[in-house]
Amino acid sequence: MKISVLVTGGAGYIGSHTCIALAEAGFTPIILDNYGNSSPKVMERLARITGQAAPLAIEGDVRDRALLDRLFAEHEIGAVIHFAGLKAVGDSVADPLSYYDNNVYGSLVLAAAMRSAGVRTLIFSSSATVYGEPDESPIPEDAPTRPANPYGRSKLMVEEAYGDLGRSEPGWRIALLRYFNPVGAHESGLIGEHPQGKPNNLMPFVSQVAVGQRPHLTVHGGDYPTPDGTGVRDYVHVMDLAEGHVAALRHALAHEGLLTLNLGTGRGGSVLDVVAAFERACGKSVPRVIGPRRPGDVPAYWADPSAAKAVLGWEARRSLDQMCADSWRWQSGNPNGY
Ligand code: NAD
Ligand code: UD1
């Protein structure tokens, strides 16, 4: 029998891509999303991509305990993948309470409802942001954690709460996945990332410049101690990430205990590397100006992804060129999102 997986935040960027990988791997995703940063229109696209019925989607909030209790009572849910949360660093500094409420309180309500329902397999979206400014790269999972903003602290608090929960009683199977920089889109070009307002992150900004919605990219700093002077990150294709969730889920279903894993490629790319790859993908030049450094930015970091490979047998396969080609296909086909 197919195992049903509750995917909180499943209408969002990473969640929607993971629903494809889940469906392709023979799981049945059930989405819970408040559509605060997404659209229910993604469901029809998921059906087109997978050739299966659109996933069951429930509109609601992960902080709504009564709704969660009903969901667990009405559906035979075998596991939960928990994406629902807020993710904008700047907003988290301006309004920390909403970050602790959505991200920390929401995660606690979810775990409590799971515990009552006897569902103990949980995959959680954490972030490389928990490392803050690392001492060295590649970053292994046992590197010190020192998040530099409320968003990062909210992720670390949940990691710690879930870790304590997993150690408090037998039966829990919890994977804490620390994503590096997810980019790209499904190769169909039917789903992708559509930030509201001015994008904070590099890839959506470059895409919007390429499609003509913004005049130029401002490169935040050209004087970093990196090979070309611009910031270096570990960009990982969102479909590789999606497949990493399926691998983590399969592992968790087969093994009790707690896992903390980096999901990244293990390779760093600079801002100018991304721009060059995007220009190759879209066949035009991406105007850019070098501006000052962005406050709070780290010069360079990338993952040590060897534990994910050893434990899950997962490694990222897609190149930076593919990430840009897929971002471009999505952006150029859907310049205004869904
Ligand atoms: P996203 O905003 O596209 O997706 C999050 C989804 O959760 C959205 O559909 C939103 O409507 C929903 N949501 C938010 N709060 C909710 C609530 N209280 N109840 C129900 N639904 C709610 O973001 P994403 O990029 O897909 O990120 C998914 C997860 O991965 C987040 O937890 C994020 O912190 C984490 N993460 C993202 C990145 C990244 O760069 N995108 C990096 C590391 C970690
Ligand atoms: C940001 C978040 C981090 C989150 C990650 C998800 C901050 C401080 N950190 O990280 O918590 O987990 O996104 O992917 O916001 N850049 C430009 N011009 C732009 C935008 C970005 O030059 O218009 C540069 C940045 O300086 C950086 C690189 O591009 O060197 C990547 O930036 P971004 O996509 O915002 O990701 P991070 O800063 O790594």
Best residue among 145, 205, 220 to mutate for probing ligand 2's pocket (most ligand atoms within 8 Å of CB) is 220
What would the mean pLDDT of 15-21 be, rounded to a whole number? 98
For 22-81, the pLDDT digits (tens) are: 999 999 999 999 999 999 999 999 999 999 999 999 999 999 999 999 999 999 999 999
| Alpha carbon distance 130, 156 (integer Å) | 6
pTM, 2 dp? 0.98
Full set of structural domains in the chain with CATH: 4-184+236-266+302-316 (3.40.50.720)
Atom of ligand 2 at shortest range from CA of 230: 30
Atom of ligand 2 at shortest range from CA of 297: 8
Residue type, 247: A
Ligand number, closest to the Cα atom of 271: 2
pLDDT at 104 over 90: yes
What would the mean pLDDT of 236-265 be, rounded to a whole number? 98
Nearest CA to ligand 2 atom 27: 231
Which of the four pLDDT bands, split at 50, 70 and 90, describes residue 196? Answer: confident
Q: Is there an atom of ligand 1 within 6 Å of 221 CB?
A: no
Q: What is the mean pLDDT of the chain?
A: 97
Q: Which pLDDT does position 275 carry in this prediction?
A: 98
Which of the four pLDDT bands, split at 50, 70 and 90, describes residue 296? Answer: confident
For 230-243, the pLDDT digits (tens) are: 999 999 999 999 99
Which of the four pLDDT bands, split at 50, 70 and 90, describes residue 122? Answer: very high
Report whether 177 contacts 122 (CB < 8 A): no
Ligand number, closest to the Cα atom of 127: 1
Atom of ligand 1 at shortest range from CA of 181: 40
pLDDT at 123 over 90: yes
Across 25-92, where does the E strand assignment appear?
Answer: 28-33, 56-59, 77-82
Q: Catalytic site residues?
A: 151
pLDDT at 1 over 90: no
Q: Which pLDDT does position 210 carry in this prediction?
A: 96
Task: Identify the DSSP state of 303.
Answer: B
For 301-318, the pLDDT digits (tens) are: 999 999 999 999 999 999
How many angstroms does the Cα of residue 114 sit away from the middle of ligand 2?
34
Percent of the chain with pLDDT over 70: 100
Which H/E stretch holds residue 259? strand 257-263
Percent of the chain with pLDDT over 90: 97
Of 150, 155, 152, 153, residue with least CA distance to 96: 150
Q: Is there an atom of ligand 1 within 6 Å of 141 CB?
A: no
Q: Is there an atom of ligand 1 within 6 Å of 36 CB?
A: yes
Q: Which pLDDT does position 325 carry in this prediction?
A: 98
What would the mean pLDDT of 145-163 be, rounded to a whole number? 97
| Alpha carbon distance 202, 49 (integer Å) | 26
Of 98, 246, 235, 124, residue with least CA distance to 180: 235
